[in-house]
A = this chain, B = another copy of it.
Amino acid sequence: MIAKPKSVASPLAVAPPPAVDPAGKPGRRGQHVVEALRTSIIAGRYEPGARLIESTLSAELGTSRGPVREALRQLENEGLVMSLPYRGAVVLGVSDEEVQHVLIPIRLTVERYSFAKALETMTNDDFAEIAKQVWLMEQAAKNDDLPQAVEADLQFHDLVITASGQTHTLQIWRSIWPRIRAYFFRYGRSSSLEQMVEDHRELLAALQTRDPTQVLPLLERHIAVTVPGQEGT
């Protein structure tokens, strides 16, 4: 819309900072780049197939090429981007089939194991932190704030898996989740925000019983039901 002659409305949601972050800590620029790009890709501001040029991004984000390169590698591991030698990075799509036959099953494997494991060791502090996310999700649902609700969803699961203390499991989950999120943002999710809040409320309650037979069935249903095509058609 407004776009001055030079740039063509960059899909990045950030105001290019004047090379020095005025809001406080200048450290951790790399993480900032990852988050900005991930958000933009998942929100669909970059279409699958779009090319990501290092120099352009570094200029838009107010950093040097170094952090941008690292960010692109990170996104590659999260399956949002693919990069070929000397040819640069392009945004990836996710197929229906891979989501259903690979990503969701992997998510199930990971979460089943993590939840069962976390059950045994979670402290009251852990439960409190998770309850906080449920509360945030409720607020988001009230305001119809989808991004905020999804963020709370992410944190909920991340907290439980972190609590399970299994390094690889957590790392794998973090590399799987962004693809699933991108998929649902692109093709619409199946259940309502209210249902999502209810699911997590129940999950938290079940976790507090520390009884696997309470938790696991809920978890299966929660994850499996997220797949469109399972429920209407």
Contact = CB atoms under 8 A, between A and B. Distances in A.
Interface of A: 28, 66, 69-70, 73-74, 76-77, 79, 82, 85, 92, 94-95, 97-98, 101-103, 105-106, 109-110, 113, 166-169, 171-172, 175-176, 179
Most B CB contacts (10 A, CB to CB) among A69, A92, A95, A98 go to: A98
A37 to B, nearest CB: 15
Give the number of times this chain occurs in the complex, counting copies.
2
Nearest to A116: B101
A110 B104 CA distance: 11
Contacts of A105: 109
A38 to B, nearest CB: 15
Given A70-B69, A73-B74, A171-B79, A166 B109 contact: no
A166 B73 contact: no
Contacts of A166: 95, 97-98, 102
Contact of A102 (B70, B82, B102, B172): B172
A101 B111 CA distance: 11
Contacts of A113: 101-102
A102 B167 contact: no
B175 A98 contact: no
Closest 3 CB pairs of A and B: A77-B77, A105-B109, A101-B113
A102 B92 contact: no
Given A70-B70, A77-B77, A102-B110, 15 more contacts: A77-B175, A79-B168, A79-B171, A82-B167, A92-B167, A92-B168, A94-B168, A95-B166, A97-B166, A102-B109, A102-B168, A106-B106, A106-B172, A109-B109, A168-B179
Nearest to A73: B73
A105 B28 CA distance: 36
A116 to B, nearest CB: 9
A58 to B, nearest CB: 15
Nearest to A166: B98
Contacts of A98: 166-169
